[in-house]
Amino acid sequence: TQLLEQSPQFLSIQEGENLTVYCNSSSVFSSLQWYRQEPGEGPVLLVTVVTGGEVKKLKRLTFQFGDARKDSSLHITAAQPGDTGLYLCAGDGSSNTGKLIFGQGTTLQVKP
């Protein structure tokens, strides 16, 4: 069974600080995605990484896919209160069903 473990589960920081969220597995994924979810809403896709070692940047967010395609990280520079939310990583197990395996999420609170 493929599993994705996210750490930390909870993170409370001050505005302007940097942070990194990790998503780890013992399994290889053909792609890995990051989503952000606000309370009472569905998750929204931030990025998809597909190549081992790939780095993508989205404004102050930097996403990296591990060389072996078993792990990923999300780094936020100079966090802002608007970054507050639940961050979810999800891996594509490469079946033709399109099923994604989700991590348990990281709840981020950025205090002004």
Partner 1 sequence: SQTIHQWPATLVQPVGSPLSLECTVEGTSNPNLYWYRQAAGRGLQLLFYSVGIGQISSEVPQNLSASRPQDRQFILSSKKLLLSDSGFYLCAWTVLANYGYTFGSGTRLTVV
Binding residues vs partner 1 (CB under 8 A): 6, 30-31, 33, 35, 40-45, 48, 50, 86, 88, 90, 92-94, 96-100, 102-105, 107
Query: Could you report how far apart the first and last alpha carbons of the chain are, in Å?
Result: 41
- Using alpha carbons, select from 38, 16, 10 the residue that is nearest to residue 112: 16
CB of 7 to partner 1, least distance (A): 13
Q: Which of 79, 88 has the CB closer to partner 1?
A: 88
- Say if strands 19-24 and 61-65 run parallel, antiparallel, or are unpaired: unpaired
Q: Which is nearer to partner 1, 35 or 79 (CB)?
A: 35
**Cα 84 to Cα 56: distance, rounded to the nearest angstrom:** 20
Scanning the chain, the segments in alpha helix (DSSP H) are none
Whichever of 2 and 62 has its CB closer to partner 1, that residue is 2
Min. distance of Cβ 24 from partner 1 in angstroms?
Answer: 14
